A and B are shown apart, each in its own frame.
Chain A
Amino acid sequence: MEPETILTKLRGWINEPPAHFLNEFEPLYRNILRKKIPACKCPDKIRDAVLELYAFINKHKNDMETIIKRTAKLRGGVVLFGIPNHAGVFNNTNLTDEIARAFLEKYPKRATWFETLPAPVEEPAKEPTPDAVEETNEEPAPAPKKRGRKPKK
């Protein structure tokens, strides 16, 4: 879904939420912000959640595609900082695969901080070289014959 479409929907939900809109809003909120709507008894919690999601999408409008497709997820109690070319502190909400890869490139041992690692960069598929084709066509070498006496029964 396009960010502009989501924003238009959210604008309508801020003041006059239609009946049963939570069925659509709750998964959207959970998938994008990676958390659940607070379970408090506050009367405005749904409106606050709509505003929070609206502000987040509005801020990251240009990166929404990468944010929705991201696979990198941190363990609880971990924030990332000191990443080259990326100022600020990152948690599960604002982390993208690109930032996670940049962090892991600098600190490869810190892969333990991730629940799921970022997806590798997609490289253009290479055509198989003729040597590789020949190798794959070769039949497997026959197993060497066993020599020596048979073991006594």
Chain B
Amino acid sequence: MALCDINLTQDIYAIECNPTNGVTNLSVKGVKRNGLIFNRADFDPDPSERVKVARGGNCYSVLPLLEGKRGYHITQPSNNPFEGTKTEASKGKYVTTFNHTLQFVILNHGNYTAALVDELANGEFIVMLEPNQSNAQPASETSPIIAVSGAWEIYGLDNGLKLETAVRELYNDDTLAGWLVTMTETGAPNAATFATPELIATYPVEETSDGETT
């Protein structure tokens, strides 16, 4: 590892400011209610197949699935979608890593939902969410990292999201006797990973009538 890998290369601003027109961009809370969920095993594990945006930090422009694989929708109610989702730094003995937590609700219970939770119980997943703040501007034109507008955040790319808890309470007013699911990824080396919106549009999520994914 080169020494420069652990050096700071950017200024730190509390509020992002567009240097061209002087407009300040206060950050916006939360994510949008429609996301994508994938089986982690459906992604091509070969790192040489993946491409990051030039000067884009951890933002991917190409992140291929294996042939014939697809993603699935994950949709939440519009009041605080994915509430409880967070990222925390975890100080280790030698290095500091990040723990990502994703939380979502399934406001339903039945044989279909129970089978779904069974599938979630023992798998590894990758979830992509669209932040509400989509028009981030670079703090400086000469910054080593450029802002990618409208980038989606990826959870679980490094180690995979695994089920931490799945709780169902019969008389809970919030979940209406549905499931509250928490998934975690521990020990991720990156604080956050992103994907360009053009990339998100290429993921097949619908199944056609003849069985092919589009």
Contacts and interface: CB of A to CB of B under 8 A. Distances in A.
Contacts of A91: 198, 201-202
- Size bracket of the B interface: 20 to 34
B62 interface: yes
B202 A79 contact: yes
A79 B214 contact: no
A112 B214 contact: no
B71 A113 contact: no
Interface in B64-107: 64-71
Interface string B2-32: 0000000000000000000000000000000
Nearest to B61: A79
A98 to B, nearest CB: 20
B155 to A, nearest CB: 16
Given A75-B65, A77-B65, A78-B202, A112 B208 contact: no
A113 to B, nearest CB: 6
- Size bracket of the A interface: 10 to 19
Contacts of B213: 76
Interface string B191-214: 000001011011110111000011
B145 interface: no
A75 B67 contact: yes
A35 B65 contact: no
A97 to B, nearest CB: 18
Interface of B: 43-44, 49, 61-71, 196, 198-199, 201-204, 206-208, 213-214
13 contacts: A35-B206, A36-B206, A36-B207, A36-B208, A75-B66, A76-B204, A77-B43, A77-B62, A77-B199, A78-B64, A79-B196, A81-B61, A91-B202
